A = this chain, B = another copy of it.
Amino acid sequence: MNNDIELLLHPRSIAIIGASAKKGKIGNAIMRNLRESPAKVFPINPHEKTIEGFKCYRSIDEINQKTDVAVIVLPAEKTLEEAKKVADEHIPFLIISSAGFSETGESGRKIENEIAAYTKNRGTRVLGPNTLGVCSPLSGIDTMIIPKERSPRPDKGNLGIISQSGSVQVSLLERAAAMRVGVSYAVGLGNRSDVSELDILRFFENDPDTEVIAMYLESFLDGRNFLELARRISIKKPIIAIKAGSTEAGSRAASSHTGALSKGSDALVEGAFRQAGVIRAHDDEELIDYAMALMMMPAAKGNRVAYVGSAGGIGVMASDYIEGSKIEPPLEMAKLSDQTRHSLHEFLFGYSSIENPVDLTASSTPALYDGSVKRVLGDSAVDLLILSIDMQPPMMDDQVFDHITSWVTIGKPIVGTSTGGEVALRAISKMQSLGIPSYPSLSRCMKAAKALYQRGMILHKIKQDSSKGPQE
C-alpha cells in the first residue's frame, strides 16, 4: 500500500471525474478552484471538449498520462463504478467527495466497504467518501467543491489542518483567511474509509512547512494510536484539537453527521488530551485563535500574567478573568518586582497605576506604552503580557505601532487586544501584522494566553520526562 501522503497533498497531476462546464455545478466549482494549480488537471466528462481551459477526457482510462490523484464528484450511486476504474488504473490516491455512504446508514456503508476493499487490493488509497478533500495554499491543490468566491481561502503558511467535517474545514479556512493565519495543508477526512487522521498526522510530523497542527474530530479511528502519535509529535509541534460529540447530545448529532461512533465522556477526552500533550479547543473560533497564538508566540514558561493598557475598567475585568477563571490551568496576576514598580513610578510621573494591571489612563501616549511595556517585559516575575493598545485617548496615535517589533524581539509571549468596536479592530489588525496575536475581546485574548501557558506546561513536562531517561 502506498503511504506517501506527499503525493496526495502535492500531486503532479489530478483527474476530476464529474467535472462540469456548467457554472453553479459543483463539478464546475472544483475545476475553477484548480485553475491556478501547478498540477496538470484532467477533467473527465464524456460530453465536453474542454472545461475551464483544460482538455477534457471521456474516461479515466483514456488519459494515458501518469495521474497521482483522482477526485470523484458524482452522485453516490455512480461512485462505485468510477472508483473501480480508478483502482484499475493504479492511481495512487482517490478522493471521494460524494456523500451518501456510511453516514446515511447500512446500505451506504455496504457500498463504502465495497469501494474500500476493491481499491485496497489494487493499491489505491482513498480519502473520504463524504469529504471536501484537500485544500493546500502551499501546493496550490484545492479539491473543495465550494467556490473560492463563496469561501475565501487563507494564504500559504505553517498551520496544518485535519478535519473530520467538511463544514468545519470550510469554517477553519475562512477564519484563518480573515485572521491572516497562513495554512500549509487542510485535509478533510470525511468517513475515513481508508486514509485517517493518523496518516495525515504522520505526514505533518516530518513536514517542515507545518509548524502547528489544528484538528477537528468527532471520533478517534484508533484512540490508542492517536494518543501515542500525538504525544510524540507534541514534543516538536503544538497540536490543538476539538473533540466534538463529547456530550450525549453531541454524540447523537455526530453519529448522524459523519457516522462517527463517538464514545467517551468529556472528562475522558480532557484527561487523554492532557496526557498526550494536546491543547483542547471547543469550537472553530477557539481552534484558529489558539493556532494563531502558538504560531506567532513562544510558549509561556509560567502562569504569571501582566496587563498593560489605558482602559482601567478593562484592566479590572482582565484581572478577574486571570484569577477567576475556573478553566484549568489557572493563571495568576504577576507581582511586579519592587524595581519594576519603582522604575514605572518614575517613568509615569505618579499618574498611573504602577501595580499590575498597569493602567496608563487617558493620558497614555505611544512613548508611555513603549516605556511601560519594556519595563514589564523585563521583569523576571512576568511570564506573559496581555497588551491592550487603546486608541481613544487624545494623545495616542499610530506611532505606538512603531515600537511593536522591539517588544516582540524581547522574546516573551505577548497577547494583544484593544478596547472598543471598529476602532479596536483596526488596532488589532495592526498589532497582528507586526507580530502580536491579537483578539477583539478580553475572553478570546485570555483563552489564547492560556493556550500559550498550556504549551509551556507541555514542554516542561516533556523536558522532565526526558531528563528521567527512557522509561522501561
Contact = CB atoms under 8 A, between A and B. Distances in A.
A166 interface: yes
B333 A420 contact: no
A170 B394 CA distance: 13
Interface string A156-185: 000000011111101100111111000000
A284 B353 contact: no
Interface in A13-39: 24-26, 29
A266 B324 contact: yes
A174 B324 contact: no
Interface stretch (A191-199, A248-256, A290-298): A248-256
Contact of A252 (B164, B319, B422, B424): B319
Contact of A420 (B151, B257, B266, B422): B151
A381 interface: no
A461 B256 CA distance: 38
B257 A353 contact: yes
Contacts of A365: none
B313 A391 contact: no
B443 A322 contact: no
A174 B424 contact: yes
A324 B247 contact: yes
A257 B309 CA distance: 12
A362 B25 CA distance: 12
Nearest to A322: B249
A250 B317 contact: yes
A319 B152 CA distance: 27
A60 interface: no
Contacts of A392: 146, 150-151, 167, 170
A368 to B, nearest CB: 15
Contacts of A441: 283-285
Given A170-B420, A242-B317, A253-B318, 6 more contacts: A151-B420, A165-B313, A171-B420, A244-B317, A250-B316, A257-B316
17 contacts: A150-B394, A165-B316, A167-B362, A167-B419, A170-B311, A170-B392, A174-B423, A176-B421, A253-B316, A256-B353, A256-B355, A257-B359, A266-B324, A282-B321, A283-B317, A284-B419, A285-B442
